[in-house]
Amino acid sequence: MSDPAPNEPTFEEALRDLDRIVQDLESGQTGLEESLSLYERGVHLIRGCQAKLRAAEQRILLLTEVDAEGKAVVQPFQHAATAESAKAKRPAKKAGEAEKLF
């Protein structure tokens, strides 16, 4: 991925900033105007994170595999959550059988 714009935080920095914003808003110690300003900043950070994730997904698609001619073989990124796909792979439990967690 390309480097962030000079004034744009990295993905990790944006997540830290979002965490601080949520803590500030949940504390109830900010006034209305400051809360609105924090909320607007949070929306901006979320949109930036979403754009960075989309760009990372595109890189995953491009870097997945190369064919015999050296051309990239694009395989779509699996969007299902890991927990959902793991659950789908488990065999069905029998009636009255306790679910094994590990």
**What are 21-64's pLDDT values in tens digits?**
999 999 999 999 999 999 999 999 999 999 999 998 888 777 76
> How far is residue 86's CA from residue 81's CA, in Å, rounded to a whole number?
9
Burial 35-57 (b: 16+ CB within 10 A, else e): eeebeeebeebeebbeebeeeee
Instruction: State mean pLDDT over 65-79.
Output: 69
- Is 39:26 a contact under the CB 8 Å cutoff? no
Looking at the predicted structure, is the pLDDT value of residue 91 above 60?
Answer: no
CATH 1.10.287 fits 11-86, yes or no: yes
